[in-house]
């Protein structure tokens, strides 16, 4: 064997050994570094800081809050024209490098030295994706090294199509547009698959400096930037000379549009949910964002309710409507006014209004729990209590009247008489157990019996829902569950009845429900009568005709309607108008609700210290 051949064998063996050792070392270093880096799976669940997505009870998007991509495209469905435009503009060697393009970095460095300013960047699309998902925009060496390491890891774990797809779904493109689908809509009111060549090129040109190149801010600069992208696409043979020539001559043809889901489908409800979130989550959880809030809202019912209060309310009056599901406490409808754009004040949750005769339920329940029966006789005559002399509507008095009939016809003197007999403490305690009078304390004065107190529509609705739910009061909630950024449940509404307060005995609740049904069948709530359903409800009118109420229930749903003016001045109409509007709403949603009856009145239970005690018949 010649010395030359021996030398060749030695060199070849050494090269193989060194190459193998290098490969093994590189793999070991990569694995070691990978272990220190965040998992690439985060790409699939990425959300920016402070983003919140509100979903209806059926999973429809109500609103997206914060710097969020409002619409995404599956990576394998990303239009080829879009990918080519961005590759030409941002990373022409995208399919050739492994995350970092050192050739492009070197070229950019030489150009920047020559121009004595930063006119080119060397970051690949993979690096930009790493920066968007994992890093900040800080211009530091540490951030750049992390970006490079993450880019290599992304390339090892994701396909090129996944990388460019995720990049195009998350890159900021100006005007509150995060991702290509948002940008196509914001600038051209189109979906990405309908973008023309010159439109795709214009959007691709925005990525380096969205605010600077935005066609909505600087049309001339946007056109110049578009031309650069088109010429780059030609150099890469993505388009022909004729396509380039035609596209360069095209005008901008912008058709600006509001980003999808920026404006809420149900703004009164959305604003209420936003105010509730800090009570359920920590400040840190809200700041981190990435939240999917599954709300209780039935969006279809909400839109129908909006139509009802706009068409059925008295002239020049405002309105509110709230629907609560008694068995869960979930708020299915919450509308705080006729037009959120004109006035954002939420009259359903924020306004404190006199409930009028709808407050009488607390007085009557206290009497029932004190031993009074619906058939017991009281006297309806003009009387005074320590200088307070209530009057019935129309100055009509019935003399001897049963408690049930007094409630059916909403007699004020009987309500005050019952308050005097059972005492303030019992009436106030009853209201408090049903969630009323906690924010603004109930006063110990006789007008309280007929509604001389101010309460929100939401709280009054929840109180009536507690009666419908046979005495179990559930604090109303607009949220069913909250999903965190890692797809874990971080809050859920308790639905088990045992987790909630038994505010009334079953006997008291059933008796009250029976009396409320009589109000609708024969009394002041007749306008809410439904031919094929049992309805339990009560009208209410505050002093001076300033507030008109009807709160009505079927077994599955309790709904309140309120009419009034923000300046508390009198309005035309009567509480019968609210009852009629309630009926119109129920007729619109009745197909969604099974026809069932209220439970039969029970006479074998009483409440002792909020526990049900069974008695012998």
pLDDT of residue 608: 39
Query: Residue 35: is its pLDDT beyond 90?
Result: no
Q: What are phi and psi of 337, to 5 degrees?
A: 170, 175
Q: Which residues of 548-560 are buried (b: 16+ CB within 10 A; e: fewer)?
A: bbbbbbbbebbbb
| Res. 609 pLDDT band, cuts 50 70 90 | very low
Q: Which residues of 280-295 are buried (b: 16+ CB within 10 A; e: fewer)?
A: bbeeebbebbbbbbbb
Q: Which two tokens mark 602?
A: 């029970």
pLDDT of residue 45: 79
Residue 381, C-beta contacts closer than 8 angstroms, at least 6 positions apart: 397, 399, 413
CA distance 263 to 65: 9
Which residue reads 């050494």 in tokens? 14
Chain-centre distance for alpha carbon 195: 31
Query: Residue 258: is its pLDDT beyond 90?
Result: yes
| Res. 266 pLDDT band, cuts 50 70 90 | very high
Yes or no: say if 560 and 578 are a contact pair by the CB < 8 Å rule: no
- Give the residues across from 54 on adjacent strands: 63, 293
What is the 8-class DSSP label of residue 545?
S
| Res. 172 pLDDT band, cuts 50 70 90 | very high
Mean pLDDT of 583-603: 91
Closest CA to 311 of 291, 283, 287, 339: 339
CA distance 207 to 198: 15
Distance between start and end Cα atoms, the chain: 115
389-434 tens-digit pLDDT: 999 988 999 999 999 999 999 999 999 999 999 999 999 999 999 9
267-286 tens-digit pLDDT: 999 999 999 999 999 999 99
pLDDT of residue 352: 97
Yes or no: say if 206 and 223 are a contact pair by the CB < 8 Å rule: no
What is the 8-class DSSP label of residue 30?
H
Chain-centre distance for alpha carbon 29: 46
Chain-centre distance for alpha carbon 62: 6
Query: Residue 345: is its pLDDT beyond 80?
Result: yes
> What is the dotted CATH code of the domain comprising 301-476+501-614?
3.40.710.10
> Where would I find the H helices in 531-593?
575-589
Which residue reads 């108008």 in tokens? 577
117-169 tens-digit pLDDT: 544 556 899 999 999 988 876 677 777 888 889 999 999 999 999 999 999 99
More confident residue, 246 or 146: 246
| Res. 41 pLDDT band, cuts 50 70 90 | confident
Mean pLDDT of 22-45: 61
pTM of the model: 0.86
Q: How far is CA 233 from CA 95, 149, 198, 604, in A?
A: 15, 29, 11, 83
Mean pLDDT of 175-191: 96
Q: Angle of helix 299-312 relative to helix 575-589, nearest 10 degrees?
A: 150
pLDDT of residue 546: 96
Mean pLDDT of 493-511: 86
Query: Residue 614: is its pLDDT beyond 50?
Result: no
pLDDT of residue 582: 98
Quick one: residue 225, left, alpha or beta (phi over 0 = left, psi -120 to 50 = alpha)?
alpha
> What is the dotted CATH code of the domain comprising 74-249?
1.10.3810.10
Lowest mean pLDDT among 283-292, 379-388, 492-501, 522-531: 492-501
pLDDT of residue 109: 61
Q: Which secondary-structure segment (H or E) carries 183?
A: helix 180-188
Yes or no: say if 509 and 396 are a contact pair by the CB < 8 Å rule: no
| Res. 314 pLDDT band, cuts 50 70 90 | very high
- Give the residues across from 491 on adjacent strands: 482
Query: Residue 606: is its pLDDT beyond 90?
Result: no
pLDDT of residue 374: 96
Pairing of strands 291-295, 331-335: unpaired
45-90 tens-digit pLDDT: 788 889 999 999 999 999 999 998 889 999 889 999 999 999 999 9
**In whole angstroms, how large is the CA radius of gyration of the chain?**
34
Query: Residue 17: is its pLDDT beyond 60?
Result: no
Q: What are phi and psi of 275, to 5 degrees?
A: -70, -25
Q: Which two tokens mark 289?
A: 């964002």
To the nearest 10°, report the CA torsion of 562, 568, 572, 573. Answer: 30
Closest CA to 131 of 161, 190, 90, 93: 90
Three-state secondary structure call for residue 219: helix
String of DSSP letters for 185-233: HHHHSS-GGG--HHHHHHHHTTTT-HHHH-TTT-HHHHHHHHHHHHHHH
What is the 8-class DSSP label of residue 395?
G
Yes or no: say if 563 and 313 are a contact pair by the CB < 8 Å rule: yes
Which residue reads 């924010």 in tokens? 439
Q: Which two tokens mark 486?
A: 């890692």
Lowest mean pLDDT among 250-254, 337-341, 493-497: 493-497
Query: Residue 496: is its pLDDT beyond 90?
Result: no
The whole-chain average pLDDT of the chain stands at: 89
CA distance 179 to 214: 14
Domain boundaries defined on the chain: 74-249, 301-476+501-614
Mean pLDDT of 450-458: 95
Q: What percent of the chain has pLDDT over 70?
A: 88
Query: Residue 299: is its pLDDT beyond 50?
Result: yes
């Amino acid at each position: 064997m010649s010395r030359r051949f021996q030398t060749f064998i030695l060199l070849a063996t050494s090269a193989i050994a060194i190459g193998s050792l290098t490969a093994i070392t590189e793999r070991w270093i990569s694995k070691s570094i990978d272990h220190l880096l965040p998992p690439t799976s985060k790409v699939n669940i990425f959300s920016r800081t402070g983003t919140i997505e509100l979903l209806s009870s059926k999973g429809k998007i109500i609103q997206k809050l914060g710097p969020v991509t409002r619409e995404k495209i599956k990576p394998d469905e990303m239009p080829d024209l879009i990918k080519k435009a961005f590759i030409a503009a941002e990373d022409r060697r995208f399919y050739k490098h492994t995350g970092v393009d050192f050739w492009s970095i070197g070229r950019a460095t030489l150009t920047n030295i020559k121009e004595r300013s930063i006119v080119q960047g060397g970051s690949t699309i993979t690096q930009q994706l790493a920066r968007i998902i994992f890093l900040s925009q800080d211009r530091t060496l540490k951030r750049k090294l992390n970006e490079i390491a993450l880019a290599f890891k992304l390339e090892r774990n994701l396909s090129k199509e996944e990388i460019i797809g995720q990049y195009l779904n998350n890159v900021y493109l100006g005007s509150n547009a995060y991702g290509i689908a948002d940008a196509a809509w914001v600038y051209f009111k189109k979906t990405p698959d309908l973008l023309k060549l010159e439109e795709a090129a214009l959007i691709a040109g925005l990525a380096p400096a969205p605010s600077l190149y935005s066609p909505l801010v600087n049309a001339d600069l946007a056109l110049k930037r578009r031309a650069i992208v088109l010429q780059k696409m030609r150099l890469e043979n993505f388009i022909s000379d004729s396509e380039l020539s035609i596209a360069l001559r095209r005008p901008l043809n912008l058709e600006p549009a509001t980003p999808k889901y920026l404006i809420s489908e149900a703004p009164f409800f959305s604003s209420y949910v936003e105010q509730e979130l800090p009570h359920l989550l920590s400040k840190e959880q809200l700041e981190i964002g990435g939240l999917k809030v599954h709300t209780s809202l039935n969006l279809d019912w909400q839109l129908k309710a909006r139509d009802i209060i706009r068409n059925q309310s008295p002239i020049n009056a405002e309105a509110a409507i709230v629907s609560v599901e008694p068995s869960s406490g979930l708020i299915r409808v919450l509308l705080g006014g006729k037009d959120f754009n004109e006035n954002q004040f939420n009259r359903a949750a924020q306004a404190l209004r006199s409930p009028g005769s709808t407050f009488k339920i607390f007085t009557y329940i206290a009497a029932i729990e004190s031993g009074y029966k619906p058939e017991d006789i009281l006297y309806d005559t003009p009387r005074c209590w320590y200088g307070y002399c209530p009057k019935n509507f129309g100055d009509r008095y019935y003399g001897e009247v049963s408690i049930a009939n007094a409630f059916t016809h909403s007699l004020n003197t009987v309500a005050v008489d019952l308050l005097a007999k059972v005492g303030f403490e019992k009436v106030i305690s009853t209201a408090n157990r049903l969630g009323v009078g906690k924010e603004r304390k109930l006063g110990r004065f006789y007008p309280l019996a007929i509604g001389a107190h101010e309460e929100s529509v939401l709280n009054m609705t929840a109180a009536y829902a507690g009666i419908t739910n046979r005495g179990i009061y559930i604090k109303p909630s607009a949220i069913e569950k909250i999903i965190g950024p890692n797809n874990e449940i971080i809050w859920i509404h308790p639905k088990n009845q045992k987790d909630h307060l038994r505010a009334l005995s079953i006997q008291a609740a059933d008796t009250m429900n029976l009396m409320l049904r009589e109000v609708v069948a024969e009394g002041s709530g007749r306008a809410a009568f439904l031919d094929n359903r049992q309805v339990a409800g009560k009208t209410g009118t505050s002093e001076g005709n300033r507030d008109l109420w009807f709160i009505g229930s079927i077994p599955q749903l309790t709904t309140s309607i309120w009419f009034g003016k923000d300046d508390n001045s009198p309005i035309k109409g009567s509480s019968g108008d609210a009852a009629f509007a309630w009926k119109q709403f129920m007729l619109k949603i009745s197909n969604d609700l099974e026809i069932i009856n209220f439970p039969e009145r029970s006479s074998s239970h009483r409440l002792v210290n909020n526990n049900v005690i069974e008695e012998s018949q």
